[in-house]
Chain A
Amino acid sequence: MTFVVTEQCIRCKYTDCVEVCPVDCFHEGPNFLVINPAECIDCTLCVPECPVEAIYAEEELPEEYSQYLKLNEELSNLWPVINEVKPPPEDAELWAGRDDKLQYLQRNSES
């Protein structure tokens, strides 16, 4: 099993989750974080830390977020590990709770 970061993280990118992860399995993109499923040990500590509730256990992943399972796997192989909390983007609060964010997901800094 694993845990999965989903849409609400996009453009909010609060990194509270990183602080509690005991195995450094978060990877960082320009405006999103993902969990490496090969490293996640299902400790569940990240779930309640996220201020926008973006993280789900794989088996509780809502239907509308099902594509995030593969996305987390794919992107964690491209992106570097993040193991320190950093401030969220300045406009993070404006993006919290929006349900149209997948289109804004940036894979690399250039795009």
Chain B
Amino acid sequence: MTQVPGDYVDSDELDRYEDAVLKYHRGEIDENKLMVTRLQQGVYGQRQDGVNMVRIKVPGGRLSPQQLQGIGSILEQYSGEDIVSITTRQDIQIHSVALGDTPAVLRELADMGLTTREACGNTVRNICACPLAGVCEREHVNVQPFIEQTVEYFLRHPLTQHMPRKFKMSFSGCEVDCAQGMIHDVGVVAVSENNRFGFKVLAAGGLGHKPREAVVIESFIEEADLLPVIEAVIAVHNKYSDRKKRAKSRIKFLVDRFGADGFVEKYREEVKRTREAYTDNANHVKGEWQAGCGDVQYYAGAPHEVVAQKQLGLFVFPIAISLGDLTSKHLRGIAKLLIDEKIDDVRTTQDQNLILVGVPEHSLSSIRSGLTELGLAEPVVGDNVVACPGTWTCRLGITSSRNVAQKLTGSAGDLLVRVSGCQNGCAQPTVGDIGIHGEAKRIHGKLIPHYRMHFGGDGRAGGRIGTKGPEVPAARVDKAINRIQETFLASRENNESFLQWNGRQTLDYYKELLADLIHVSASDVPLVLKDHGDKKDFKVLQLGGGECAGVSQEDVAANFSEAAMERSYLRSFLLARKYQQAIDCAVAITRLVGQSLLRSAGKAFNLDEPQEIAAKIKEYLPSHPYLFEPLAVFIGELNRFEHSLEETGTEQHNFDQSGFERLLKMLNGWTVLAGHYCQEKNQAVDFSSSLPETQLTDLDFQDPLLAASLQATTSTAGATLAAASAVSTVISAGSPSNTGS
């Protein structure tokens, strides 16, 4: 059992979410303000008004029978549909939940140790695992504990709260990389090299409208190095990824911008810092590493038949879940079966199925018959069809992916067929044998639903992004896929795979093979006008875009988030007596917070020098001396500390550490004041969690009168001019160069 309720769930957060929903219903906050919180809690808008999709994060796909049962109960009570969906990232989505019911759903999920936090928006999304983690004969290590360590580390982490765009990670237990690191922002792969065991790390891969294979940023790292390495990649994303153009803000676009070598260079700059600052070395996960049996041939990816585990006498039992749809009968039935058979490990897979893990030999037949009663069974050849929700519930859907998917098969060749309803490719069409994504084409004056085809893709090691094929009207795409499969089966040589067969075809091959299906004459139009399952003529809804990108992130919020990161590095450096680095962090904070002040005042300057920033703040915010005067003091003081190091050497023991710490307290106090000012100017984004917890009243000032005036100031963001001046005076008066001299 891996779920630990306390670690992932924060009940205060759920209270705040419920509060926000109530306020929205009373008209006290608007839709945009609610959206920020809503997305942070994994609650998506749907195509249909007033109802939401709730995405449950399932790290590594691991669930317990009790959790399956609980999800079944939620489905019955709150969902407008009769199914929940397994996603291609091992999450579970509950559909059509009335907004007013979402707080209750989140609480019920929390009660069973499940979180939806950061399942959507510009966050670190669910982390995928290779399906047989812990039980595969090939694996070098069980990646699940490493995933949990990573989830815990980054959930609610300041660096991940205001990212330019989402961030997806995968972990695989061996070089085969069944979790598909190639298509992830970070892919971690356990490797064995000359009797050493560790991880290879891939980065900047991704699909969507511009698929790209990941690059290798570390060919070998020790397990203790894992978190600083991942943190460095996220730091690169935060620093450089485009925050304005949503379509270009995934980290993979930085490889276009900098080149692969340039990207790795940026990563190396960041990892130098994260490695220095990372102090948790003693507590890192220590895996049980082994060579594994390299030759064992499993079905690529999740197994499609019962397979033996490395643990003697235990088996993995896969269950075919058509389109990833689970009814409450399925959920309750499977849960009961598992509880009766004392099996507690059930996992979602990236191809939208379930696998039962740790099944003793004697239970296999009772599992099988129990599932038969539920109308479920092991996968069969040809049923590997993966689909996204498409126009059923998704705001971005262009075509009815699920409807056409139901008509498709992988054929006797057992191909992996992937169906996406739009170019965003959530069903990963570019890493399937045959993948298709929906779009609309205007022909003879009419808008006709089409699918773009992709061939011969594979997300595992040694794989590739599929080749772009022709566009076929939706009405004919099932026929097109059928024809390709039949041709493949008839002409394949020596039992070659579809990937191999496809590799031998030219680009024009498919155009010729499908020519009659591709072409739409004027008289054809009425026949191809409707999408699968539609009664009316095809129309693409204009729903104002999806929410997958979260709210457009203000640079200000990002700056405060980065400042929070610098504060945490600073602490580490101080502990390690790396004073120069600590000073650099403090300088970075003055720069970040100072820039935020200017932006919030409507002035965006690209200034680097804190002195210049301070001068501009004075120029444009003259009535807020408490915002620029302390900054001037900090700059002077930090210079002084830096000089003291130069004179005596960086690691000297007579560095005025307590003086430095007093300065930092005041720096935090100033950050809080600046934060209040900026928050007032940027109501749409809530970055209060990025501010230091310092109360200005915590500052250690001797004079009780001055302390009292500080208390008065902090009660409201709109400090009066007099009180604000008092604060600035106090901060200046309290600076180390003034006292004791």
Q: Which residues of A contact B (CB under 8 A)?
A: 1, 20, 22-25, 39-45, 47-48, 81, 83
Chain A residues whose CB sits within 8 angstroms of the CB of B422 once the complex forms: 22, 43
B428-472 with Cβ < 8 A to chain A: 439-442, 447
B540-556 with Cβ < 8 A to chain A: 540-545
CA distance A16 to B123 in the complex (A): 30
CA distance A47 to B248 in the complex (A): 10
Residue from the list A23, A39, A48, A81 in contact with B439, Cβ < 8 A: A23
CA distance A23 to B463 in the complex (A): 30
Q: Which 5 A-B pairs have the closest CB atoms?
A: A24-B442, A23-B440, A22-B439, A42-B545, A81-B442
B240-255: contact bitstring with A at CB < 8 Å (1 yes, 0 no)?
A: 0000011110000000
Chain A residues whose CB sits within 8 angstroms of the CB of B248 once the complex forms: 48
- Nearest B-chain residue to A23, judged by Cβ: B440
Q: Which residues of B contact A (CB under 8 A)?
A: 209, 245-248, 396, 398, 422-423, 439-442, 447, 540-545
Beta-carbon contact of B544 and A22 below 8 Å: no
CA distance A48 to B210 in the complex (A): 12
Interchain nearest-CB distance for B255 vs A (Å): 15
Chain A residues whose CB sits within 8 angstroms of the CB of B447 once the complex forms: 23-24, 39
Beta-carbon contact of A45 and B247 below 8 Å: yes
CA distance A51 to B315 in the complex (A): 56
Beta-carbon contact of B540 and A45 below 8 Å: no
Contacts A20-B209, A81-B442 known; A41 to B542 CB distance under 8 Å? yes
Chain B residues whose CB sits within 8 angstroms of the CB of A81 once the complex forms: 442
Chain B residues whose CB sits within 8 angstroms of the CB of A83 once the complex forms: 441-442
Chain B residues whose CB sits within 8 angstroms of the CB of A48 once the complex forms: 245, 247-248
- Nearest A-chain residue to B541, judged by Cβ: A41
Chain B residues whose CB sits within 8 angstroms of the CB of A44 once the complex forms: 245-247, 545
Main secondary structure of the interface of B (DSSP, over half): loop
Beta-carbon contact of A42 and B544 below 8 Å: yes
A-B contact list, 19 entries, CB within 8 Å: A1-B544, A1-B545, A20-B209, A22-B398, A22-B422, A22-B440, A23-B398, A23-B439, A23-B447, A24-B442, A24-B447, A39-B447, A41-B542, A41-B543, A43-B247, A43-B423, A48-B245, A48-B248, A83-B442
Beta-carbon contact of A45 and B423 below 8 Å: yes
CA distance A28 to B659 in the complex (A): 68
Chain A residues whose CB sits within 8 angstroms of the CB of B441 once the complex forms: 24, 83
Interchain nearest-CB distance for B663 vs A (Å): 42
- Nearest A-chain residue to B209, judged by Cβ: A45
CA distance A42 to B396 in the complex (A): 10
Chain B residues whose CB sits within 8 angstroms of the CB of A47 once the complex forms: 245, 247
- Nearest A-chain residue to B438, judged by Cβ: A22
- Nearest B-chain residue to A26, judged by Cβ: B442
Interchain nearest-CB distance for A19 vs B (Å): 10
Interchain nearest-CB distance for B472 vs A (Å): 15
Beta-carbon contact of B442 and A22 below 8 Å: no
Apart from A22-B440, A44-B247, 4 more pairs, CB < 8 Å: A1-B542, A22-B398, A23-B398, A47-B247
CA distance A43 to B545 in the complex (A): 6
Beta-carbon contact of A42 and B442 below 8 Å: no
CA distance A42 to B447 in the complex (A): 17
Contacts A20-B209, A22-B398, A23-B447 known; A40 to B439 CB distance under 8 Å? no
Chain B residues whose CB sits within 8 angstroms of the CB of A20 once the complex forms: 209, 423
Chain B residues whose CB sits within 8 angstroms of the CB of A41 once the complex forms: 398, 540-543, 545
Chain A residues whose CB sits within 8 angstroms of the CB of B246 once the complex forms: 44
CA distance A25 to B542 in the complex (A): 12
Chain B residues whose CB sits within 8 angstroms of the CB of A42 once the complex forms: 542, 544-545
Residue from the list A1, A24, A45 in contact with B440, Cβ < 8 A: A24
Interchain nearest-CB distance for A3 vs B (Å): 11
Interchain nearest-CB distance for B257 vs A (Å): 12
Chain A residues whose CB sits within 8 angstroms of the CB of B542 once the complex forms: 1, 40-42
Interchain nearest-CB distance for B427 vs A (Å): 15
Chain B residues whose CB sits within 8 angstroms of the CB of A25 once the complex forms: 442
Chain B residues whose CB sits within 8 angstroms of the CB of A1 once the complex forms: 542, 544-545
Beta-carbon contact of B423 and A22 below 8 Å: yes
Interchain nearest-CB distance for A39 vs B (Å): 7
- Nearest A-chain residue to B437, judged by Cβ: A22
CA distance A25 to B447 in the complex (A): 10
Interchain nearest-CB distance for A47 vs B (Å): 6
Interchain nearest-CB distance for B548 vs A (Å): 11
Chain B residues whose CB sits within 8 angstroms of the CB of A39 once the complex forms: 442, 447, 540
- Nearest B-chain residue to A21, judged by Cβ: B439
- Nearest B-chain residue to A20, judged by Cβ: B209
CA distance A1 to B248 in the complex (A): 20
CA distance A42 to B541 in the complex (A): 10
Interchain nearest-CB distance for B438 vs A (Å): 8
Interchain nearest-CB distance for A77 vs B (Å): 12
Interchain nearest-CB distance for B278 vs A (Å): 35
- Nearest B-chain residue to A49, judged by Cβ: B247
Chain B residues whose CB sits within 8 angstroms of the CB of A22 once the complex forms: 398, 422-423, 439-440
- Nearest B-chain residue to A44, judged by Cβ: B247
CA distance A98 to B377 in the complex (A): 66
Chain A residues whose CB sits within 8 angstroms of the CB of B545 once the complex forms: 1, 41-44
Chain A residues whose CB sits within 8 angstroms of the CB of B439 once the complex forms: 22-23
Chain B residues whose CB sits within 8 angstroms of the CB of A23 once the complex forms: 398, 439-440, 442, 447, 540
Most buried by B among A22, A24, A40, A42: A22
Interchain nearest-CB distance for A33 vs B (Å): 14
